């Protein structure tokens, strides 16, 4: 039996977002189109996927049984798309790459040098963003390939792969501050000092540590704020070492520094072309 990709995608998005209306917004379609697509899938399968008796649709026991199979079908379709791109060798005219400052510059500089030699005629763009903003840029089609710190959950319309090279984050404060003179610093002590925290454009409501806070969507901007003595921040160690002008001190706080895993991400709705796939392969192959 043939199941339409639209129906399968509508089902997955409804599960991911929790409602038909949210799935419609995500897929840029009308709610009736999503409802009809899911109804058609239910008719084809001969089962009920969602209980519609409450305000929001609830996945039935049959829906839970079907879900992993639908996920497998979509994943296989995405792998087929990737194989076809590799075999066809079609090179896109433009590649947009969005990068997190969590990831050390040296890791991607060598890749860009090889990219320049292999794809000399491609228009290349490099953007800087963090967390939810990276996801948003990939989902909207503004960027084709992204590198970001690992997130707890990802939307169903993107594919991610873990990179072998991660990062280390630690807590930094201007070395002239009184807390920077202590042999050990407690988190409660930090709450009395302004925190310089990351807040993305996509999620400006992210909570801080509980004390006064300044925020920015850029880790580099937070670094500059810390250098000016405006407060403490959780920053990549490499960023401070390379651009910190030796005015910050890494605070001796229990549990820090912390290792951060990093993912490469791309859209499975509009997968990258040959150049984008080459970039992904190089990122995944890079050793620490």
Q: Mean pLDDT across the stretch 245-265?
A: 96
Q: Mean pLDDT across the stretch 211-237?
A: 95
Mean pLDDT of the chain: 90
pLDDT tens per residue, range 62-109: 999 999 998 888 888 777 776 666 566 678 999 999 999 998 877 788
Task: Report the distance separating Cα 165 and Cα 162, nearest Å.
Answer: 9
Task: Report the distance separating Cα 253 and Cα 126, nearest Å.
Answer: 34
Q: Mean pLDDT across the stretch 175-182?
A: 96
**CA proximity to 126, closest of 116, 6, 41:** 116
Order the strands of the 123-128 sheet from edge to edge. 123-128, 94-99, 145-149, 262-267, 158-162
pLDDT tens per residue, range 40-69: 999 989 999 999 988 889 999 999 999 999
Query: For the whole model, what pTM was predicted?
Result: 0.73
Residue 174 DSSP SS3: strand
User: Is the link from the previous residue into 257 a cis peptide, with omega within 30 of 0?
Assistant: yes
Higher pLDDT residue, 88 or 153? Answer: 153
In Å, what is the CA distance from 269 to each residue of 56, 83, 158, 265? 26, 15, 8, 12
Residue 129 DSSP SS3: coil
Provide the CA 2 distance to its chain's centre, in angstroms: 33
Task: Report the distance separating Cα 38 and Cα 8, nearest Å.
Answer: 8
Task: Check pLDDT > 70 for residue 249.
Answer: yes
Q: Would you state the torsion angle of the CA atoms of residues 222, 224, 230, 233, taken in this order, to the nearest 10 degrees?
A: 40
Residue 169 DSSP SS3: strand
| Residues contacting residue 155 through CB under 8 Å, at least 6 positions apart | 16, 26, 135, 139
Burial class (CB in 10 A: 0-12, 13-18, 19+), 101: buried
Residue percentage of the chain with pLDDT more than 70: 94
| Residues contacting residue 88 through CB under 8 Å, at least 6 positions apart | 274
Domains of the chain: 5-87 (1.10.10.10), 93-165+261-285 (3.40.190.10), 167-258 (3.40.190.290)
Residue 147 DSSP SS3: strand
Sequential DSSP letters for 37-81: HHHHHHHHHTS--EE-SSSS-EE-HHHHHHHHHHHHHHHHHHHHH
| Residues contacting residue 232 through CB under 8 Å, at least 6 positions apart | 171, 172, 173, 177, 179, 190, 193, 194, 195, 196, 226, 251
Q: Mean pLDDT across the stretch 166-171?
A: 94
Number of residues in the chain = 288
Task: Check pLDDT > 70 for residue 286.
Answer: yes
């Amino acid at each position: 039996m043939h199941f339409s990709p639209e129906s399968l995608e509508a089902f997955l998005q409804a599960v991911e977002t929790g409602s038909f209306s949210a799935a419609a917004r995500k897929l840029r379609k009308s709610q009736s189109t999503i409802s009809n697509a899911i109804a058609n899938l239910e008719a084809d399968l001969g089962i009920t996927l969602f209980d519609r008796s409450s305000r929001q649709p609830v996945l039935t026991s049959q829906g839970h049984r079907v879900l992993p199979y639908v996920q497998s079908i979509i994943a296989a379709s995405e792998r087929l798309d990737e194989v076809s791109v590799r075999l066809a060798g079609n090179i896109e005219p433009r590649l947009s790459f969005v990068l997190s400052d969590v990831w050390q510059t040296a890791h991607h500089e060598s890749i860009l040098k090889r990219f320049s030699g292999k794809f000399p005629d491609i228009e290349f763009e490099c953007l800087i963003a963090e967390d939810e903003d990276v996801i948003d840029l990939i989902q909207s089609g503004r960027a084709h390939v992204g590198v970001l710190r690992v997130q707890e959950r990802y939307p169903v319309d993107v594919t991610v792969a873990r990179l072998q090279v991660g990062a280390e984050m630690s807590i930094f404060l201007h070395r002239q501050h009184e807390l920077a003179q202590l042999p050990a610093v407690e988190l409660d002590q930090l709450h009395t000092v302004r925190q310089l925290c990351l807040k993305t454009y996509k999620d400006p409501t992210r909570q801080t540590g509980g004390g006064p806070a300044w925020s920015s969507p850029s880790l580099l901007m937070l670094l500059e704020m810390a250098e000016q003595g405006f407060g403490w921040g959780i920053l990549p160690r490499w960023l401070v070492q390379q651009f910190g002008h030796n005015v910050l001190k890494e605070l001796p706080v229990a549990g820090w520094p912390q290792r951060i895993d990093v993912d490469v991400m791309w859209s499975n709705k509009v997968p990258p072309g040959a150049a984008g796939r080459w970039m992904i392969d190089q990122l995944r192959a890079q050793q620490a």
